[in-house]
Structure 1
């Protein structure tokens, strides 16, 4: 399990860094113009904090994988992370519209890759928590 936690950690660290390109890739400068100032700024601030939390979860998995596996606190943390990423997996299928990715090669690939990542993360965290 330690190797799996370290893999997840490295993937999450990479995912956190990918957030840097979101404003440009999703054309936020233009797309967010109609929003009020508070809503524009909340998008940017929330994206930063999501990236920070994903980075810190990744860092935790890389540097404290043994503790996550071998301590009661580690199991509790993994249970919380398992529930969190399971919820994220459900959102991938039941909240985001399939119109965002169906029939689009790149978007479908991204959908599949992240579905696998959320499922893998959920399973590993829950196995560690309950193991």
Structure 2
């Protein structure tokens, strides 16, 4: 029984972290100086970039609210709960892979702030993916 409570707690913490990550997208552009970078692009590119940023943030919030508010239901062993856990595992697993395969190390090497961000995100995506994968594989206790 303690195992289920621990996993449920981990799911809720992951949900909280993802919700916070989504909210963080409000300040992210200024933090990494995207307005300056995007000022040199076309209006279409700027608007698409900010629209994508908004929807990525919203996706993080919505995907975070599922485990934050419905952890017991996700662990109940229903087909819907299993499907949602599988979807989250695949989604965040892909994000984890992108951290190492897609983003060039030249983006963060030699810059302490960006290196810290890279490491923090690598740890975050590893934890998020591991919790969803473990919940999916272990199922209801």
Whether 2:107 is the aligned partner of 1:100: answer yes
Asked if the contact 1:16/1:55 (under 8 Å) is kept, the reply is yes
Q: Tell me which of 20, 41, 45 is aligned to 2:47.
A: 41
2:17 corresponds in structure 1 to 11
Q: Tell me which of 71, 74, 77 is aligned to 1:68.
A: 74
* RMSD value, Cα: 1.3
2:3 corresponds in structure 1 to none
Q: SS where residue 64 of structure 1 aligns? A: helix
TM-score if structure 1 supplies the norm length?
0.92
Structure 1 CA distance for aligned equivalents of residues 134 and 8 of structure 2 = 12
Unaligned runs of 5+ in 1: none
TM-score if structure 2 supplies the norm length?
0.86
Aligned length: 131
Unaligned runs of 5+ in 2: 1-6
Runs of 4+ in structure 1 displaced over 4 angstroms?
none
Which stretch shows the higher mean deviation, 28-37 or 13-22?
A: 28-37
1:32 corresponds in structure 2 to 38
